[in-house]
A and B are shown apart, each in its own frame.
Chain A
């Protein structure tokens, strides 16, 4: 079974100017373990909001590629976002769920995906045509390439092993995370434009 840290490291290899949003908890620790940088926006809260936050970013920056990495529990809390994304069809947005079928931050309780709920089928049903399930390491290279070459939204449900990794925490100050990200995307004008 795939290891979530290996998956994230593989997907973020040679990422160029890829913008990355991570859902709260383990996904945020995973992108930080792969290397914290201003083009990362790790969330500390707002459970259920990661994918649609990525939509807002993708619509505001249509020439940049946006990747949302989140967990199955976080995605399950905001399934409507898949409909909202499918309707807007941003060409530059990918959503990757690291599906370990558990709420790993809260004691390892089972999520709905443990009981057969198929997030990729839900995404496909919403209208995201390229919705895939990833089980093997050999599928990560093609997924990474697709993230950099999409012409329509992409959804991938990557099955990963349950269990917790050592904490690798990103900065916690929300204003700092916002300011460094906006400066990375918009330049120094980010702090002056109104």
Chain B
């Protein structure tokens, strides 16, 4: 079983991660909090390579929710990058941006969503949208590459124009399903 089969990344020719990076820059986002996901690997590399971006790798995604409330208090605009499983780690901490009317855009790469191989990804993957919405988060999703820029742009605008947590779900169809070499 090779590593590529274990860690599905977007096709090397797919440029939607670069479009997301361009949108972050266009919105003046300077603080990026993340727990790595293979689906975000290219975007994370772009952020790390940009000296104008402060990138914080978290031990758990809920730290990013609290951290970015602090960023906002200090006048900086941030974004939280994570995999769908990380959404479950954020639920109670989302009380803070809701209570404090803090903009909090999240970009979530989905697992357990479309052609999933790993049964452990299904429970949280299936619960991402309802749990986020139950915690007052506006959710939009993209399942084809051409929708990614508009959805990410909309979610960032909704967050900073209307002061609340928002999430762009990037469907697993964009990223590919892990097969563990079984295909």
In the complex, the answer to whether B67 meets A52 with C-beta atoms within 8 Å is: yes
B85 to chain A, nearest CB (A): 16
In the complex, the answer to whether A56 meets B93 with C-beta atoms within 8 Å is: no
Interface residues of B (CB under 8 A from A): 31, 33, 54, 56-60, 62-63, 65-76, 78, 92-93, 95-96, 98-102, 160-161
A19 to chain B, nearest CB (A): 8
A172 to chain B, nearest CB (A): 9
Residue of A nearest to B66 (CB): A49
In the complex, the answer to whether A45 meets B96 with C-beta atoms within 8 Å is: yes
B134 to chain A, nearest CB (A): 16
Bound complex: CA of A72 vs CA of B67, how far in Å? Answer: 19
B66 to chain A, nearest CB (A): 3
In the complex, the answer to whether B65 meets A60 with C-beta atoms within 8 Å is: no
In the complex, the answer to whether A21 meets B60 with C-beta atoms within 8 Å is: no
Most chain A Cβ neighbours within 10 Å, of B31, B33, B72, B73: B73
In the complex, the answer to whether B71 meets A60 with C-beta atoms within 8 Å is: yes
Given A88-B56, A174-B100, A48:B74 Cβ within 8 A: no
Pick from A43, A46, A59: contact of B74, CB under 8 Å: A59
Complex contacts, B31 vs chain A, CB 8 Å: 56, 59-60
Most chain B Cβ neighbours within 10 Å, of A21, A56, A84, A181: A56
In the complex, the answer to whether B102 meets A84 with C-beta atoms within 8 Å is: no
Is A161 engaged at the interface, CB distance under 8 Å to the other chain?
no
List, sorted by A's number, 15 A–B pairs whose CB atoms are closer than 8 Å: A48-B62, A52-B63, A52-B70, A53-B69, A56-B31, A57-B74, A59-B71, A60-B70, A60-B71, A80-B58, A80-B63, A83-B59, A178-B72, A178-B101, A182-B72
Interface residues of A in 61-96 (CB under 8 A from B): 61, 64, 78, 80-81, 83-84, 87-88
Query: 16 additional contacts, CB 8 Å, given A46-B96, A56-B76?
Result: A21-B70, A46-B93, A49-B69, A52-B58, A55-B70, A56-B33, A56-B73, A56-B74, A57-B74, A59-B70, A80-B59, A84-B63, A84-B67, A182-B72, A185-B75, A190-B75
Is A167 engaged at the interface, CB distance under 8 Å to the other chain?
no
Bound complex: CA of A177 vs CA of B72, how far in Å? Answer: 13
Bound complex: CA of A88 vs CA of B72, how far in Å? Answer: 18
Complex contacts, A46 vs chain B, CB 8 Å: 65-66, 69, 92-93, 95-96
Top 5 A-B pairs ranked by shortest CB distance? A56-B70, A60-B74, A80-B59, A49-B66, A174-B99
Bound complex: CA of A152 vs CA of B98, how far in Å? Answer: 32
B24 to chain A, nearest CB (A): 15
In the complex, the answer to whether A56 meets B71 with C-beta atoms within 8 Å is: yes
Interface residues of A in 156-194 (CB under 8 A from B): 174-175, 177-178, 181-182, 185-186, 190, 193-194
In the complex, the answer to whether B59 meets A178 with C-beta atoms within 8 Å is: no
Bound complex: CA of A45 vs CA of B58, how far in Å? Answer: 20
A175 to chain B, nearest CB (A): 4
Bound complex: CA of A163 vs CA of B109, how far in Å? Answer: 46
Bound complex: CA of A42 vs CA of B126, how far in Å? Answer: 35
In the complex, the answer to whether A43 meets B96 with C-beta atoms within 8 Å is: yes
Bound complex: CA of A175 vs CA of B97, how far in Å? Answer: 9
B145 to chain A, nearest CB (A): 28
Bound complex: CA of A177 vs CA of B98, how far in Å? Answer: 13
In the complex, the answer to whether A81 meets B76 with C-beta atoms within 8 Å is: no
Complex contacts, B93 vs chain A, CB 8 Å: 46, 48-49
Complex contacts, A60 vs chain B, CB 8 Å: 31, 70-76
B92 to chain A, nearest CB (A): 7
